[in-house]
Amino acid sequence: MCGIFGFIAHARDTSLSRDALERCAEEIAHRGPDAAGCYIGRNFGFAHRRLSIIDLDPRSNQPFVEADTGIVITYNGEIYNFRELRVALEKGGAIFRTASDTEVICKAFARWGPDCLHKFRGMFAFALHDPRSQATFLVRDRLGIKPLYYADTPTGLAFASQPSAILRWPGVNASIDPIGVSSFLSFRAVFGERSLFSNIKKMPPGTWMRLQGGERVHERWWSPAPGEMESSRIHHMIGAAVEEHLVADTPVATLLSGGLDSSIVAYEITNRSSVKPTCFTGVVEGEDYDESPFAAEVAAVIGAPHRLVPLTSTTDIETVTRLTALRCHPLGMHNETAMHLLAQRVGADYKVVLTGEGADELFAGYSRIYRLPFDLMRHSGLAWIPARFGRTLRQHIGLPNERCSEFELFLNQYAYFPIDEKLSLAKKAWSHAINNDETLIGWMKEAYLSAGDNPAARIARFFVDHHLTALLEMVDNTTMAAGVEARVPFTDHRIVERALSMRPAERLRWRSRWAAVKAFTTPISSFSERLDVSKVPLRDSYTQVLPSSVITRKKLGFPLPLGRWAAGEESRPFRDLLFKSTPAIADFIDVGALRGWYDAKAARASDAFGRQFWLISNLEIFLRQH
């Protein structure tokens, strides 16, 4: 895994500055501490920062020039089946001069063109120039595991692994996108092709762009094609994916939270190889939040070394500020600092770590949202009850009093900062700039309703297409900020396609018929994973090999007591940024309204409030940096 940057000029014969290319690449030096390189062609320049994992020899440094065709590439990622592809290419006469997957990409592109992408199993974002056609391609992997941004300038197009590198290039507009700000506050991510910068866009997952002769072509090269297979066979797919993700010329470690997903990954490493991976577990202060006993139990069962990493500064403002600068993005998830601190410890001994991200999105781990069809049924059923009683029951179970559409119910469940509550804090100029959030809501509505032909299918596809992409970028950025490559075997595209073909009851089931009846008058927050069971295929497949305490326990995510933090003394440095002087966020938010909102919310100090305050204060830190 690495960091890439480049510029493609409109004019065919353009003199590009090596110093300018290297300055931009220096912004992402943390992504590749092992080597740096630069290549300048007739109308393009590529720069690269390398984290050496496959073929550690300098011959595989980048930008890489393929000897036979002159194809030039700057590439970030791993092709896990590159050795298999190399054999196929050699049978066709290809001669290799390195042992890298980088050279395999170049020769595959030379042989098959963009169709070669369908043969790749892995994670990747790259730019490739083919001198035979004078075409330059930008490519992003199927799920968006590897980030890729680009920006148009008056003289060409700049691209990079992170916006910070693009912002250093002359002619790039660094203004903040008001709709991007709104998306971040509501959903803790900027969805679609937008970023937090008006002129910088994200390459969508599963797409490529070709620049040739002054023309630009975008094409989607992959969309999930649901595949049929018995649920009982899913563990074979997971095991095979984990085995492929072990491909490396350096040792591989794994993160082990003690939850189901990371435990499966750790188990499959030992099951599929002779490797006993070192398992790293973050330990959060506070008895209620310590998952390390579960992790220790799993490590003992699989016979793997186990290291505990104290996480004592996860909400420290200096840690947050530094990581925000490295990410060039506010921290939307309160576990980002924890992930980064873990990666720092892993990075002292390893360059590669496997993680369990993706399982929740694929197998209904977020049951409170995956139960939307149940809420729709309840909402419709209550319409037949007299208004006075129906209103009381709706309030009790957390449903809107008014009639609402499926999308409105989804938005109400999904948003971290409800739209109306956010707009109540907005300055008029910002409300006007974002059209009172009509633009954002319109995009969300189209993305959701076009994702499937029924509520369950829409939720599943939305999580894969949008929620998962944002999560994967977080994982990439927080680990790469420590010079560590995170690999996510659950996001193997074959597993994704199989998961999307499952019926809702295959992924999420009631514990009993009585549980389903009882749930009708119970808020989702109260019955989620108490009256129902999430990630059923995973629990069923691994019940014989993992401790029962892990198989049956409720999802915690990365547990941090955020409500208590937001209302307490630990958050004072963040509050001082917002309330002791004119904050940068005052361009968007009415500070007086924000102060009143904080005082009222802090009196109850729920974790929902903690997440909202985290979003606001982290946005403030980001805006001060830009």
Q: Read off the pLDDT of residues 3-47 as tens digits, 9 standing for 90 and up.
A: 999 999 998 888 899 999 999 999 999 999 999 999 999 999 999
Residue 388 has pLDDT above 80, yes or no: no
CATH architecture, domain defined by 232-558 = 3-Layer(aba) Sandwich (3.40)
Whole-number percent of the chain with pLDDT over 90: 82
So what's the pLDDT on residue 168?
A: 97
Note the pLDDT tens digit of each residue in 497-541.
999 999 999 999 999 999 998 988 888 888 888 899 999 999 999
Instruction: Give pTM, 2 decimals.
Output: 0.95
Give me the sheet containing 122-130, strands edge to edge: 64-65, 72-79, 122-130, 135-140, 207-212, 215-220
> Is 19 assigned a ligand-binding role in the annotation?
no
Note the pLDDT tens digit of each residue in 546-599.
999 999 987 765 556 788 889 999 999 999 999 998 999 999 999 999 999 999
Which residue is catalytic, options 2, 24, 116, 328? 2
> Is 101 assigned a ligand-binding role in the annotation?
yes
Whole-number percent of the chain with pLDDT over 70: 96
User: 232-558: same fold as 2-220?
Assistant: no
Q: What is the DSSP code string of 414-449?
A: H-SS-HHHHHTTB-HHHHHHTGGGHHHHHHHHHHHH
Question: Catalytic residue at 2?
Answer: yes
Summarize the confidence of residues 277-303 as an average pLDDT: 88
For the segment(s) 2-220, the CATH number from 1.10.287.130, 3.30.2320.80, 3.60.20.10, 3.30.1360.80 is 3.60.20.10
> Is 172 assigned a ligand-binding role in the annotation?
no
Rounded (10°) angle between helices 468-480 and 317-327:
110
Domain ranges of the chain: 2-220, 232-558, 561-626
So what's the pLDDT on residue 314?
A: 83
CA distance 410 to 366: 13
Give me the sheet containing 35-40, strands edge to edge: 35-40, 44-50, 2-9, 156-160, 149-153, 200-202
Mean pLDDT value across the chain: 93
What's the CA dihedral at 413, 446, 464, 516 to 10 degrees? 40
Residue 452 has pLDDT above 60, yes or no: yes
Summarize the confidence of residues 285-290 as an average pLDDT: 66
